[in-house]
Structure 1
Amino acid sequence: MRGKMKAVVKHHRGFGAEIQSVDIPQIKEDEVLIKIKATSICGTDVHIYKWDEWSQSRVKPPYVLGHEFSGIVVEKGEKVSNVEIGDSVSAETHLVCGRCPQCLTGHSHICQDTKIIGVDTQGCFSEYIALPTRNIWKNPKELPYDIASIQEPFGNAVHTVLTGNVVGKIVAIIGCGPIGLMAVGIAKAAGAAQVIAFDIHEYRLELAKKMGATKIVHSKNNDPLFVVHQISNGNGADVVCEMSGHSTAIIQGFKMVKNGGLVSILGLPNLPVEIDVANDIVLKGITVKGITGRKMYETWYQTSALIYSGNVKVKELITHQFSLEEFEKGFKLMIEGNCGKVILIP
């Protein structure tokens, strides 16, 4: 297929993005061309849109933004056999080398040469995207496109929460952005006894309650450490999932976890964070787990099963939908924190 398509392009090294007409991508023999049906805005997209310190050191405009999507296969290369034209699909967004020690030992989610769709390559805030067939995840035909488009970030939350045992545990979720909200629902579905959700936006805290949080805490109006101390009888949270990337919240997460507990960190701080390693890690004997992406493809199977089961209220997460041309409205809501998951429709 040849021609032009509309796309949201990070057009310069500064704040914002713009709609442009760009070439429809041409596929290779091991790739498929996908017509995008729904795409959703991620916190990483917001980092790039705002042009913060992290994005300034990572991305190279101009290029098409976006990495979360669902769509229909409209073309396939001659070496593609795992999907057919007309299939409903999403994609694992980490493009990995398959040759490094991590890839060869079953840890390709931390491949040494990972490239991320919409960060290091052309993204999906467009009408079409071309991707290697090995990255394609086939969706059930009955799965709505909006829900199918949020599986990738849902997988991040699955990986973060299920990296440790949460059954019967006190789980603290710090940061109730869309992935934090997903983590709340996943922790509850996985059998956590208490799920404490922390944020500074009332809108998102109310969503956290709908997702199953047993306690919501406005971190500016309450002392998070005192709240956890009360709920845990002074022991601390068994598991802390840090989803915010805020330096103060990260430090609080290490202080609120119990001796021998687990801190799983998905949030990306813009700058280095000073942690009291002696008192908050070593002498407490805790485990710290850095979370990147999804286990390929164990997490995808867990994600698909959790969504299909209905045990996590995924529909509650999707609060706004705009056309692709209205992308600025979606980014504004994300920056303000007055939304759950924002869907864009090409």
Structure 2
Amino acid sequence: MMSENKFQSENSIPDLSPDLFVKADGLDVEDNEKITAPSLSFLQDSWRRLKKNKVAMVSMVLLIVITLLSIFAPVIAPNDPNAQVIEHANLPPRIENININGFNGTIIENDKRIDKYAAKDVPNDVNYYLGTDSLGRDLFSRILYGTRVSLFIAFVAALLNLTIGVTYGLLSGWLGGKVDNVMQRILEILSGVPNLVIVILMLLVLDPGIWSIIIALALTEWISMARIVRAQTLKLKNQEYVLAAKTLGQSTLSIAFKHILPNLLGVVIIQVMFSIPSAIFFEAFLSFIGIGIPAPNASLGTLINDGYKTFRFLPHLMWYPSAVMSMIMISFNLLADGLRDAFDPKLRD
């Protein structure tokens, strides 16, 4: 009995008085309870990850610069891109006060370097930064305007790709069943027709030019976008938040465009970014084979085609437009690759 009382006394709870407690105050305690990382939205978090990708950021800055130069081509271009000065035909590049071979107006002929500007009595205050073509047109001005045309075709084609492809794929994936089956068979039929055949058919109906190329791209380029959006829609439409929206009585279109479409934003943007260089290359290919932009207007493809004819004697006529097109396509692909990692880090290899 005595041992039991002793055990109870040893394990009894002591009296708790206010003196035993000390108020926890001070900056250290308050800082521990603060949330150090700010709350970020999906786009803000993606932008934070994208900024860490130096290659993608450099590509984005380069694309912005090229786009601005093409937009303000009427202000920046030193000459009319279609003005012909036969006396100044086939001149090499010359930049004032720069005495570097390749930019001082000299070329090698018969193992001898000669000044082509002096040989053709070109005034000292007349300089062609990237030289002239066989008709005496300023290549620098034509590249600015040609880049403008190529980017315009690419961006309009990407916009149509976005509008038609996302709408078609979203409806196909959301409705499902027989409707989805019929819509996918239509896609298979359209994808079996080559772009070049459609362009040639467009030329029989429309005059050769920008809009015939845009229409040809709009008829086929959206197919891959529609398939990607459909696949993502099939995966997302059975998620819990979609079922909750159905339970709350939201309409089908409201759920599709307000709940599913925002979750497709990353995939859609990446696909659009990849489609732009594809459209630029397709336009350049058409212009190169002679069924693209009609003369005297220029695009990067027509400039490459013109330079290709005299590449052995005047290589700068092909090198410069080729370099611009290569920079644009590489930058778009690198930026799209960076956006893919930013929007969904799980896709990184």
**Both structures adopt the same fold (TM-score exceeding 0.5):** no
**Larger relative contact order (Cα-Cα within 8 Å, sequence gap ≥ 6):** 2
Please identify the structure whose Cα radius of gyration is greater.
2
Relative to the length of structure 1, the TM-score reads 0.23
**TM value normalised by structure 2:** 0.23
Q: Larger % of helix: which? A: 2
Please identify which structure carries the higher strand content. 1
